[in-house]
Every structure is written in C-alpha cells, then in structure tokens.
Amino acid sequence: MARRTKILVLNNEAEARLLEATLTERNIPHFLKSYHDSAYDGIWQSQLGWGQVDAPPEYREEIESIYSDLISSHPTGEEAEE
C-alpha cells in the first residue's frame, strides 16, 4: 500500500463530498478521515474542522489545486452566506 500523508483539513461535509467525488473521478488515490466521534458528540469537528484528506505525498499539489478551485466555484457553509 502506498504511503499516505495529511494533505489538507476540510471545513464541512459538503466540501468533503464534493472533493471526494472529484478525486474519485480523476482516479487520484485518497482517504477521507472524519474527526467525528460519537462518544464526544462531534466536539472535535467544531474545534478541528470536519476532517482531513490523506493521500500519497506526490498528489499534494494537485489535490490542493483541485480543492482551491472547488471552494472558489462552489461556496459552502459560511462562504455561501456572504
């Protein structure tokens, strides 16, 4: 199995699902890790963000670029309210 590293932190589930669909469509290996813990009723998500994207380090720049493009073209959460 390829080595994975933390690439970026996601703010909410909408971002996570949108990025996941795009990475899957482009055949970019990735793993979404939610910070939700039912024992603590999701307290970590309010402090740390929704979760993170892990991927092989050689995909970092491509994933960050895709994420930046998605966020600027699909505002989610607080950005959509402005």
Distances (CA, A) of 22 to 29, 44, 52, 68: 11, 26, 15, 12
- Number of domains comprising the chain: 1
Q: Is residue 79 in a domain?
A: no
**pTM of the predicted structure, to 2 decimals:** 0.76
- What pLDDT was estimated at residue 13? 87
Q: Is residue 60 in a domain?
A: yes
Q: Is residue 53 in a domain?
A: yes
pLDDT digits (tens, 9 = 90+) for 9-63: 998 888 999 999 999 999 999 999 987 666 666 565 566 678 999 999 999 999 9
Q: Is residue 58 in a domain?
A: yes
Q: Which domain holds residue 26?
A: 5-74
